Chain A
């Protein structure tokens, strides 16, 4: 009996140890996969957040083509998600696991630099400027203290899109000024059709459309020279007022719209107009069942008094994060290769219409123009390129570089102000006072 008990005691100990070991092994080792650390030295890791399948495919194909040219450094792409990148890059930076190249937009660049990442790429930008010529709006938001912090790769600009068929039926001319826009919106609203579809959700989409109207109303710059907030002025009030009036003719659930909903309303004919970027071109015929000629475009209408042409302009670029000299050079080589007209067209065609060239020769010398979407909507594409010349972005107007712009765009204050008017019934004046205070608090904390 005693011996038996002894054996059993031993066995429980053995089992106890076994369970512990098994659990640990299973948890930590049994299903481990190749670690990202095992990459060869001569490789550049690139993160981009354009995770739509079509873009993923095109970017990967280009990387493969580049790697086939026997470069000093091969490129390995790892696709990330815009919704997750803020936490992920912060976490990766703290563990030293950041990529060598990171795609970015201007306000995200200020965030990444705040994490202590990012190397100047001024020499690369200067070289591209010399060989291909760069659109001014594409480099400006990445220029700080005389250095460039990202190589611009493509631009995005907004237009007023309209359904030519619906405008014809209602006898409306494409609007050029704010008052014409408002009148057209009213006239086009009937039954199941909204005159315009605008986003009013708490998101970047709302920020962007409202900001385009602020630009054409002369309220583009809402910072003082020493980077204080100066948004509380009559021009901003006028732009807010216009937005609130237009929203009355937008579908009634606009308060939760971001990008896809206005576009779906527009292509399905539930709305006659929309203000957005070039993503409206490619799916138009398939989603609307209408000929391409029914998709009309016009510059964003300008304020009747003191207005100026313009639009929000998003310059998408690539930051170089690696501090290692040879990796940095390898990254520069790849980025310059992308911007070379020989492959730049293929790069832009990852999202034809949405991705606009940022080099002067990119629009003419590359095969971008041969893309069916680009050739079908040639007039609108040309109009977008022209609009790009007057494009700008808040925080980076006229050579500004507001480092705290991330706090402002991150919290979607412009969109929140729209919701104050649209949901809480504030007047434009109240909303502007509100936003002035919110923005001040945000950058002072």
Chain B
């Protein structure tokens, strides 16, 4: 009883205070509910992400060696040192390649898969379930199994290619190909997620629209670009944004296969950061590289949002 009276009093005061602020006409109770509902994710993100982020920024302004050891404040010296490091720029460049090729390979695979899943028949029906399996294999196993299957002495994939006269050489150990091999393995692991999302998007394109286009004499290719693709834009945009951020920071697929080798050929930014912090014991440089990475990704994300966003988004 007391409680409800108090509540009412609080509410009245609250309403009076808030009413003028709410321009959209959203009732205070709705607003309160809204903020309460969004609070858990904000709190969890703050606990898990905010402190580490602040800590990374602090460390990047020091000259810390072994992570967590005492260090002095040196301002932006670490950044100056980092930006002069060729290895840093090389890693950033490789990360660009990594991001681009992963997106291309996964989108192509996912598109092809989605188009096939859309069909009728037993294959499509059953594939809708098993297509997701590669994604459910832990990355540790993905890395070990692909190295094993691509081994030149006993690897089954290697032997199959050799059987049809294709010599795979050294898939993980060739300077020119190791990054591509890792990208393909990573794509095998992750494409099912995109495939299923695109499949969902395709399902919304009304069959009548495509049929009408075909009647008009448009060939399949043109009707795809003119009709299907625009309808997919919204999904592709969102997938592109989240998916790119995600794939940029992939470390385990690379570290568990090539460790960034041979001779640095697959050292992307996350590998560079990990090695700098935990192999070279230059924590501050690693922290500075992380901060730069976040900034680069944020800018890229904003540009993507501004120019890549479909009109009706």
Contacts and interface: CB of A to CB of B under 8 A. Distances in A.
Interface of A: 6, 8-10, 12-13, 15-17, 19-20, 23-24, 27, 86-87, 90-91, 93-94, 111, 114-116, 200-203, 251-257, 261, 264-265, 268, 270-271, 406-407, 410-412, 415-416, 419-420, 422-424, 442, 445
A24 B263 contact: no
B269 to A, nearest CB: 17
A17 B147 CA distance: 51
Contact of A406 (B154, B261, B281): B281
Given A9-B11, A24-B40, A87-B278, A255 B68 contact: no
B88 interface: no
25 contacts: A8-B29, A9-B29, A13-B11, A20-B36, A23-B40, A93-B68, A111-B66, A114-B66, A114-B281, A201-B261, A251-B153, A252-B169, A253-B169, A253-B170, A253-B171, A255-B173, A255-B261, A264-B153, A264-B154, A265-B154, A270-B153, A411-B275, A419-B262, A419-B263, A420-B263
Contacts of A271: 153
B228 interface: no
A253 B4 CA distance: 75
Contacts of A9: 11, 27-29
B69 interface: yes
Interface of B: 4, 7-8, 11, 27-30, 32-33, 35-37, 39-40, 43-44, 65-69, 147, 150-154, 169-175, 178, 257-265, 275, 278-282
Given A410-B279, A410-B281, A12 B29 contact: yes
B280 A442 contact: yes
Q: Which label, helix, strand, loop or mixed, suits the secondary structure of the A interface?
A: helix
Nearest to A113: B66
Nearest to B155: A253
A265 B153 CA distance: 7
A420 B175 CA distance: 10
A424 B68 contact: no
A200 B152 CA distance: 14
Given A90-B66, A255-B262, A445-B282, 12 more contacts: A6-B11, A13-B33, A16-B32, A87-B67, A202-B258, A252-B169, A254-B170, A255-B174, A256-B173, A256-B257, A265-B153, A411-B280
The 6 closest A-B pairs by CB, nearest first: A255-B173, A16-B36, A202-B261, A253-B170, A23-B40, A256-B172
A420 B264 CA distance: 10
A252 B30 contact: no
Residue among A12, A407, A422 with most chain B CB within 10 A: A12
Contact of A202 (B7, B68, B260): B260
A8 B39 CA distance: 20
A270 B66 contact: no
Contacts of A201: 173, 258-259, 261-262
Nearest to A417: B263
Nearest to B277: A87
Contacts of B33: 12-13, 15-16
A16 B32 CA distance: 8
A445 B280 contact: yes
A419 B151 contact: no
Contact of B178 (A93, A256, A420, A442): A256
Contacts of B37: 16, 19
B36 A256 contact: no
Contacts of A252: 152, 169-170
Contacts of A416: 261, 263-264
B154 to A, nearest CB: 6
A402 to B, nearest CB: 14
Nearest to B158: A253
A265 B259 CA distance: 21
Given A13-B32, A419-B262, A251 B152 contact: yes
A261 B151 contact: yes
Given A16-B37, A91-B68, A254 B44 contact: no
A408 B174 CA distance: 24
A416 B262 CA distance: 8
Nearest to B175: A423
B172 A253 contact: yes
A114 B69 contact: yes
Given A10-B7, A20-B36, A91-B68, A256 B175 contact: no
Contacts of B278: 86-87, 410
A90 B67 contact: yes
Contacts of B68: 90-91, 93-94, 115
Contacts of A445: 280, 282
Given A12-B30, A16-B36, A116 B69 contact: yes
A434 to B, nearest CB: 10
Given A115-B69, A422-B262, A253 B280 contact: no
A270 B173 contact: no
Given A12-B32, A255-B172, A256-B147, A268 B280 contact: no
B8 A6 contact: yes
Given A201-B262, A419-B262, A423-B173, A253 B66 contact: no
Contacts of A406: 281
Contacts of A412: 259, 279
B265 A423 contact: yes
Contacts of B262: 200-202, 255-256, 419, 422-423
Nearest to B34: A16
Contacts of A202: 258-263
B218 to A, nearest CB: 48
Nearest to B170: A253
B135 to A, nearest CB: 23
A256 B28 CA distance: 62
Contacts of A115: 66, 68-69
A410 B154 contact: no
Contacts of A200: 173, 262
A10 B4 contact: yes
Contacts of A114: 65-66, 69, 281
A118 B150 CA distance: 43
Contacts of B257: 256
B280 A410 contact: yes
A13 B152 contact: no
Nearest to B33: A12
Contacts of B11: 6, 9-10, 13
A114 B178 CA distance: 35
Contacts of A23: 40, 44
B282 to A, nearest CB: 6
A148 to B, nearest CB: 22
B44 to A, nearest CB: 6
B85 to A, nearest CB: 10
Nearest to A115: B66
